């Protein structure tokens, strides 16, 4: 009998393993369906439902099916048991039930009011995964990929505007949503639609910060497919990438904002502490991310005499690249910083330095690997969002709150885009036209980050209501705005079918011609960028990559022994080697292209011709800031011929 | 106060997230260390410690550090609590502790004797992951990669021997280990070294089956690096791949073998049921795996007029390929079959059919993706094995048992390799020399599969003792035998630096020359393979890929409407297109190369020359079975010129 029981238990355990397989299989099935649908849509050039929208829809349907098809709720799981002997909560609990000891693992704290809603469908419960999986496993590849695939030329061209939208815009959005929601909540309490919970102003701000993370992946995919105007694409892409980082740190700072006494009153000390937290966390995460990337660059660059270079083993190289980038995320999280911010800047830095050191094989491997991981993770998240409507047990649907949130989100988006665009246009040469502003307003979709931030904390009733609302706003914006992108583009008469390189060239040419008289003032306003560019070009690039001038020529003479040690032998030989024109441009080209236009004022059209004749890469990282300005860098000692020729 | 408490709980939760990050970071750190070590070793051509051995060593050291550095055991977790009201075990348990409700999730059943050993280090406990992660996430990519990267030419050339070692050999090994261990256990009980547990013969057989899964990844890596004789490599690789599948199904069958009455007595009915189970599970898993691959091939092959082919979207194609292959595993698990077997044959079938339909981009992407996943998963598993010595809480070290197991493992390996090699040599043209046999004997390392099978069930004391023993045997074999591979190769005077293609050609030539008179008998003995090859070439290849003759020419005339519908337009055009010479060889080449040698008996040396002149691909899948035999296939109707020329 004992024996028999044992076999039953083995079978039971087998069943347990198969359960894990069934849940993964359901996700696989959803993803396969999504891929087949995308294929179908791509064939019919059907752009009203993007893959993420499709994934969400399938997730929703699957949730519905599981909810009504699989077995009825587990009766036991709604009951709360008492254990008088327990005084604190252990991380693992051993319980004796009918003379068998079972091990239970601590999952979370449940508020009393949630206990009743807790008896759920066993299958759905098993499909609910830990929010930490979102943060530690699914989000990092998406964010890293955004940083790694950033087209730096276009990005830096619009850096000023992007930073303004991302930092100032997100802060505005957060505060506007917070204020509107606070008004709404007060009003709802007043008319009796909402009980007097502890729905404080900080909670409203928390909601504001998490709803400020935009995720226009749907819109960007369509932009990419249709080759929409590059400036618009870059503004939107850059804003959404940085804005996620800002929103996450903002949410973090608000959640640790703890006014001493009355949580509704304004506490200056606590507020400044929060601002300090924000800055500290942001800077710390940035430092963490970039230092991991610099370590990767150094390792991949190592050329000790006894050693074969790492790039001769592409598998090891790719592995190290992947692991160090992920470690940037994990270290930041472990240090109490924000991993997403770290991994974003890690991606940007990896693309800037490490990418140049990789073997051609690894360049492609890493690109494809992260592209693939991004694709899968994105679709898993959107499938899961669809499912979450059913898997999450404590939804609180409050139509008024949801309506208020929708209003708040749009008002906030408007008060982010329009005023800031107006201000930016005062300073920009290349104005942001009205139709671009409308398109940016329209592209304020909410997605993975808002969802992930909302699901991270669903303990209290306000937080649950926020989660439900956030989820529905994600559905609404992805389906309605995502689907409406193509008609909107037509309606706003935004150019499509633009070749990014040609576009940039034409714009740069017309700008450099019209800006000739303003060179000095422009250059001065961007002095910080110039200093950085010079430092990067003269010291960091040679130190971390095989490009740029040798350190022996850029460092002062008394440093020459160190410089010789640190300079890559290949740096002497092929300084003009330009392995990746998308990412790096040499200083020489830059000077060559800009010198003539600076000295001889020629009409715009001619100028374009001369630039095209000189070389393809005429816009470069050095062209930072708000418009086109001249970047004149001192030539490095080892290239006297070049100087003479110019 | 309430508020303060809430903030504390938020911070507590944050801490919880960071914990997850810390554990992942530790694994990342171990992997980074491993990669750097491999790089170092590769530079110094140091072959005494393979990456997997290194990973294990680092895991071990890390376990040791965590054990002694991190905080002392959680006091609560060793106590068993009683809950009178609970009558059965719920999957989630809500517990009221000091007026707070906590949710606990069911983890596992614990035997009473394990309760005391249960208080562990909290950090180590968190680093212990669920065995289902091994089976559902880490193992599938490794096994799939083995199937996908199988060099079919060499594999099929030695198929007979490989199948013999894998099926018969593993069964012998399982029974021998089972018998020896049973004897040992009896003896130990007799001398009082072992208490009279329920250590039955089936338990011993279970141990035998799990210890029969060899994993010579270390040896194979060195073979690959040194270009060891291809036949030896193929025999060992093929054996280890199939042997894993056999051992897993065997373990599964034994674990569900339930003799009705006395578990020690031989129950014929139960035994035959077990054999039936084995065959059923193996065949079912095989069918499941191949059908997923066939579905993938069909999808990637689809050429409906309205549709763009999937291969124009490499990302979707790769995604679908990845998801369908993983689904093969998960479906098999969900259906109660063996996922590992399914995913292995899925890999082989994907390589045979789907690979030919993929776009060049996807071909590379899938290869590199699985290579990378294989690399990471393998190193994670070996790191984890090192850690497991500390993370696992219920080790039972019994030196005598461990010694017995070591003896049993070697005796079993010997009674697998030597007798079977003797028998195979009776039938093989190309004998397996003595030194190859010794090398195969020496390469009987145990690794990931044995570990994964052992950790899957550690409920009872015998199972725990088996787990500990299996772990130590893995350490011992990987370090000692893995490290001794290079000296052993030298000592046994086995050829290194062999070019596989040249080698195969030379052997084939010498064989076909000496086998001319035996063609008829040989060909007859392999009639099953010939039928399969013909069927595959004439119907399956054209139906599932763009290679082979068009179906219109191979199907009978009354099928022509169907055939026309199913034939790829490109099949008419480039029948001789040979996109992947490693995987597929056209029938025509095969006939061309073999016809001359069959008709004109020439000396071996000349023959090699003529083959080299005709074409590089002279050995092919058709060359199945035990040696070289002539494969004469009917030419398909559409190539009359070829026939005339030959």
pLDDT higher at A114 or A480 = A480
Give CA–CA dist B322/B329, Å, rounded: 11
3-class DSSP assignment, residue B102: strand
* Radius of gyration of chain A from its Cα atoms, rounded to whole angstroms: 28
Question: Cβ B101–A93 below 8 Å, yes or no?
Answer: no
Q: Once rounded to an integer, what is the mean pLDDT over residues A449-459?
A: 85
Give CA–CA dist A243/A213, Å, rounded: 6
ipTM above 0.85, yes or no: no
Structure tokens belonging to residue B275: 């054999």
Mark which residues 429-458 of A lie under 8 Å from B by CB: 456-457
pLDDT for the residue numbered B612? 37
Quick one: CATH architecture of B131-498?
Up-down Bundle (1.20)
pLDDT for the residue numbered B562? 61
pLDDT tens, position by position, B352-363: 888 887 888 888
Residue B33 forms contact with A (CB below 8 Å)? no
Q: Per-residue pLDDT for A516 more than 70? A: no
pLDDT for the residue numbered A174? 92
3-class DSSP assignment, residue A293: helix
H or E stretch at A520: helix A519-525
pLDDT for the residue numbered A388? 86
Q: How far is A164 from chain B (nearest CA, A)?
A: 30
Q: Per-residue pLDDT for A6 more than 60? A: no
Among B10, B125, B336, beta carbon nearest to A255 = B10
Give CA–CA dist A397/A472, Å, rounded: 10
pLDDT for the residue numbered B508? 60
Question: Cβ B107–A105 below 8 Å, yes or no?
Answer: yes
DSSP state of B214: B
CB atoms near residue A528 (< 10 Å): 10
Structure tokens belonging to residue A145: 């990929």
Q: Once rounded to an integer, what is the mean pLDDT over residues B191-218?
A: 81
Q: Per-residue pLDDT for A520 more than 70? A: no
Report how many Cβ contacts below 8 Å link chain A to chain B.
Answer: 325
pLDDT for the residue numbered B180? 92
| In contact, B496 and B225? CB cutoff 8 Å | no
- In terms of Cα–Cα distance, which of A473, A468, A484, A475 is closest to A382? A475
pLDDT for the residue numbered A563? 62
User: What is the Cα A163 distance to its own chain's centre?
Assistant: 14
Q: What is the pLDDT confidence band of residue B646, given thresholds at 50, 70 and 90?
A: very low
* Radius of gyration of chain B from its Cα atoms, rounded to whole angstroms: 28
Q: What is the pLDDT confidence band of residue A504, given thresholds at 50, 70 and 90?
A: low
Question: Cβ A91–B103 below 8 Å, yes or no?
Answer: no
Strand order in the sheet with A92-97: A80-82, B92-97, B100-110, A100-110, A92-97, B80-82
Structure tokens belonging to residue B90: 């719920």
Residue B264 forms contact with A (CB below 8 Å)? no
Structure tokens belonging to residue A526: 């961007």
Least confident of A77-81, A495-499, B15-19, B572-576: B572-576
pLDDT tens, position by position, A553-590: 666 666 666 665 555 555 444 443 433 333 333 333 33
pLDDT tens, position by position, B40-55: 887 777 777 777 888 8
Residue A613 forms contact with B (CB below 8 Å)? no
Q: How far apart, in Å, are the Cα atoms of B235 and each of B149, B335, B584? A: 15, 32, 21
Residue A122 forms contact with B (CB below 8 Å)? yes
pLDDT higher at A124 or A181 = A181
Residue B104 forms contact with A (CB below 8 Å)? yes
pLDDT for the residue numbered B217? 80
Structure tokens belonging to residue B165: 């070692």
pLDDT for the residue numbered A66? 84
Residues from chain B contacting residue A106 (CB–CB below 8 Å)? 102-104
Residue A39 forms contact with B (CB below 8 Å)? yes
| CA-based nearest residue in chain A for residue B108 | A103
Give CA–CA dist A387/A61, Å, rounded: 8
pLDDT for the residue numbered A267? 67
Q: Per-residue pLDDT for B485 more than 60? A: yes
| In contact, B155 and B234? CB cutoff 8 Å | yes
Q: What is the pLDDT confidence band of residue A507, given thresholds at 50, 70 and 90?
A: low
Q: What is the pLDDT confidence band of residue B36, given thresholds at 50, 70 and 90?
A: confident
Q: Once rounded to an integer, what is the mean pLDDT over residues A130-157?
A: 82
pLDDT for the residue numbered A121? 64
Among B79, B331, B368, beta carbon nearest to A94 = B79
Q: Once rounded to an integer, what is the mean pLDDT over residues A159-170?
A: 88
| In contact, A596 and A610? CB cutoff 8 Å | yes
Residues from chain B contacting residue A374 (CB–CB below 8 Å)? none
pLDDT for the residue numbered B492? 86
Q: Tokens 């599964």, residue?
A: B252
Question: Cβ A88–B107 below 8 Å, yes or no?
Answer: no
| Residue B338 CA neighbour count, 13 Å, CB half | 25
Structure tokens belonging to residue A567: 């300079």
Burial B384-415 (b: 16+ CB within 10 A, else e): bbbbbbbbbbbbbeeeebbebbeebbeebbeb
Structure tokens belonging to residue B514: 């000496």
| In contact, B86 and A97? CB cutoff 8 Å | yes
Least confident of A4-18, A231-245, B450-464, B625-639: B625-639
Question: Cβ A43–B308 below 8 Å, yes or no?
Answer: yes
Question: Cβ A83–B86 below 8 Å, yes or no?
Answer: no
- In terms of Cα–Cα distance, which of A424, A629, A384, A392 is closest to A508? A629
Question: Cβ B104–A106 below 8 Å, yes or no?
Answer: yes
| In contact, B210 and B441? CB cutoff 8 Å | no
Q: How far apart, in Å, are the Cα atoms of A216 and each of A47, A236, A243, A244, A474? A: 14, 8, 11, 11, 11
Query: Which residues, at least 6 apart from A163, have a Cβ–Cβ distance to it below 8 Å?
Result: A242
Handedness of CA B401, B403, B407, B413 (dihedral sign): positive
Q: What is the pTM of this model?
A: 0.78
Q: How far apart, in Å, are the Cα atoms of A551 and each of A352, A542, A637, B544? A: 18, 6, 10, 58
Q: Per-residue pLDDT for B4 more than 70? A: no
Q: Once rounded to an integer, what is the mean pLDDT over residues B202-209?
A: 88
Query: Which residues, at least 6 apart from B152, have a Cβ–Cβ distance to it below 8 Å?
Result: B348, B351, B352, B582, B583, B621
Q: How far is A554 from chain B (nearest CA, A)?
A: 32
Structure tokens belonging to residue B114: 């394990």
Averaged pLDDT of chain A: 73
Give CA–CA dist A248/A212, Å, rounded: 9
Residue A643 forms contact with B (CB below 8 Å)? no
Give CA–CA dist B3/A358, Å, rounded: 52
H or E stretch at B95: strand B92-97
Averaged pLDDT of chain B: 73
Beta bridge partners of B110: A101
CB atoms near residue B599 (< 10 Å): 9
pLDDT tens, position by position, A277-302: 888 888 999 999 999 988 888 887 66
What's A553-584 look like in SS3? HHCCHHHHHHHHHHCCHHHHHCCCCCCCCCCC
Q: What is the pLDDT confidence band of residue B565, given thresholds at 50, 70 and 90?
A: low
pLDDT for the residue numbered A600? 36
pLDDT for the residue numbered B634? 38
| CA-based nearest residue in chain B for residue A85 | B81
3-class DSSP assignment, residue A93: strand
| In contact, A121 and A73? CB cutoff 8 Å | yes
3-class DSSP assignment, residue A307: coil
| In contact, B358 and B336? CB cutoff 8 Å | no
Least confident of A50-59, A466-475, B500-509: B500-509
pLDDT for the residue numbered B3? 40
Give CA–CA dist B228/A540, Å, rounded: 45
pLDDT for the residue numbered B287? 92
| CA-based nearest residue in chain A for residue B35 | A316
pLDDT for the residue numbered B414? 92
Among B20, B315, B327, beta carbon nearest to A28 = B327
3-class DSSP assignment, residue B227: coil
Q: How far apart, in Å, are the Cα atoms of A251 and each of A139, A181, A211, A526, B286? A: 16, 16, 10, 31, 51
Q: Per-residue pLDDT for A264 more than 60? A: no
pLDDT for the residue numbered B500? 65
Q: How far is B472 from chain A (nearest CA, A)?
A: 24
Structure tokens belonging to residue A365: 């491997």
pLDDT for the residue numbered A272? 81
Q: What is the pLDDT confidence band of residue A113, given thresholds at 50, 70 and 90?
A: low
Question: Cβ B9–A109 below 8 Å, yes or no?
Answer: yes
pLDDT higher at A576 or A121 = A121
Q: What is the pLDDT confidence band of residue B640, given thresholds at 50, 70 and 90?
A: very low
Beta bridge partners of A446: A214
pLDDT for the residue numbered B474? 92
Structure tokens belonging to residue B539: 């119907």
Beta bridge partners of B560: none
Residue A82 forms contact with B (CB below 8 Å)? yes
H or E stretch at A227: none
Burial A11-45 (b: 16+ CB within 10 A, else e): eebbeebbbbbbbbbbbbbbbbbbbebbbebbbee
| In contact, A54 and A378? CB cutoff 8 Å | no
| In contact, B596 and B610? CB cutoff 8 Å | yes
Structure tokens belonging to residue A122: 């066993």
pLDDT for the residue numbered A430? 77
pLDDT tens, position by position, B248-282: 888 888 887 766 555 555 667 777 887 888 888 88
Question: Cβ A320–B18 below 8 Å, yes or no?
Answer: no
Q: Is B45 left (phi over 0), alpha (psi -120 to 50) or beta?
A: left
Residue A265 forms contact with B (CB below 8 Å)? no
pLDDT tens, position by position, B128-175: 777 777 778 888 898 899 888 887 777 777 888 888 899 999 999 999
CA angle (B206 as vertex; B203, B212 as ends), nearest 5? 145
């Amino acid at each position: 009998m004992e024996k028999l029981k044992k076999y039953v238990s083995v079978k039971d355990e087998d069943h347990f393993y198969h359960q894990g397989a069934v849940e993964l299989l359901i996700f696989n099935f959803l993803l396969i369906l999504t891929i087949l649908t995308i294929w179908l849509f791509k064939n019919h050039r059907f752009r009203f439902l993007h893959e993420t929208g499709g994934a969400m829809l399938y997730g929703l349907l699957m949730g519905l099916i599981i909810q009504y098809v699989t077995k009825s709720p587990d009766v036991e799981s709604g009951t709360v048991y008492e254990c008088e002997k327990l005084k604190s909560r252990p991380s693992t609990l051993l319980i004796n039930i009918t003379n068998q000891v079972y091990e239970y693992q601590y999952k979370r704290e449940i508020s009393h009011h949630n206990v009743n809603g807790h008896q759920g469908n066993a299958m759905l419960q098993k499909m609910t995964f830990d929010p930490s999986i979102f943060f530690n496993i699914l989000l990092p590849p998406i964010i890293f990929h955004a940083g790694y695939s950033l087209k730096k030329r276009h990005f830096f061209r619009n850096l000023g505007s992007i930073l303004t939208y991302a930092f100032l815009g997100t802060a505005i959005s957060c505060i506007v949503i917070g204020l509107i929601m606070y008004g709404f909540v007060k009003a709802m309490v007043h008319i009796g639609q909402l009980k007097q919970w502890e729905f404080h102003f900080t909670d409203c701000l928390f909601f504001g910060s998490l709803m400020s993370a935009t995720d226009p992946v749907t819109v960007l995919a369509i932009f990419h497919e249709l080759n929409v105007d590059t400036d618009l694409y870059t503004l939107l892409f850059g804003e959404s990438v940085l804005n996620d980082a800002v929103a996450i740190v903002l949410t973090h700072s608000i959640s640790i904002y703890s006014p001493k006494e009355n949580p509704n009153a304004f506490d200056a000390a606590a507020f400044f502490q929060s601002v300090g937290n924000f800055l500290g966390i942001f800077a710390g995460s940035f430092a963490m991310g970039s230092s991991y990337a610099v370590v990767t660059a150094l390792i991949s660059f190592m050329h000790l005499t006894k050693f074969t270079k790492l790039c001769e083993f592409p598998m090891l190289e790719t592995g190290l690249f992947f692991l160090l980038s992920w470690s940037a995320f994990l270290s930041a999280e472990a240090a109490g910083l924000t991993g997403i911010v770290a991994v974003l800047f890690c991606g940007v830095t990896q693309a800037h330095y490490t990418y140049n050191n990789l073997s051609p094989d690894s360049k492609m491997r890493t690109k494809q690997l992260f592209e693939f991981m991004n694709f899968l993770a994105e679709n898993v998240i959107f499938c899961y969002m669809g499912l979450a409507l059913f898997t999450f047990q404590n939804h609180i649907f409050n139509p008024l709150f949801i309506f208020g949130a929708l209003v708040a989100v749009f008002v906030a988006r408007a008060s982010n885009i329009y005023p800031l665009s107006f201000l930016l246009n005062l300073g920009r040469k290349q104005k942001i036209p009205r139709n671009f502003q409308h398109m940016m307003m329209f592209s304020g979709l909410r997605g993975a980050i808002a969802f992930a931030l909302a699901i991270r904390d669903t303990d209290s009733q306000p937080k649950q209501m926020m989660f439900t609302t956030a989820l529905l706003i994600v559905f609404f914006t992805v389906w309605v705005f995502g689907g409406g992108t193509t008609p909107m583009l037509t309606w706003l008469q935004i150019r499509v079918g633009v070749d990014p390189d040609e576009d940039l060239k034409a714009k740069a040419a017309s700008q450099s011609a019209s800006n000739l008289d303003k060179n000095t003032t422009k250059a001065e306003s961007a002095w910080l960028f110039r200093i950085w560019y010079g430092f990067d070009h003269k010291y960091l690039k040679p130190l971390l990559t095989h490009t740029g001038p040798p350190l022996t020529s850029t460092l002062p003479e008394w440093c020459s022994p160190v410089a010789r040690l640190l300079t890559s032998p290949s740096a002497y030989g092929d300084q003009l080697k330009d392995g990746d024109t998308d990412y790096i441009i040499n200083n020489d080209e830059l000077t060559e292209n800009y010198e003539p236009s600076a000295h001889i004022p020629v009409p715009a059209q001619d100028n374009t011709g001369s630039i095209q004749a000189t070389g393809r890469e005429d816009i470069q990282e050095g062209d930072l800031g708000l418009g086109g300005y001249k970047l004149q860098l001192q030539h490095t000692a080892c290239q006297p011929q070049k100087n003479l020729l110019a």
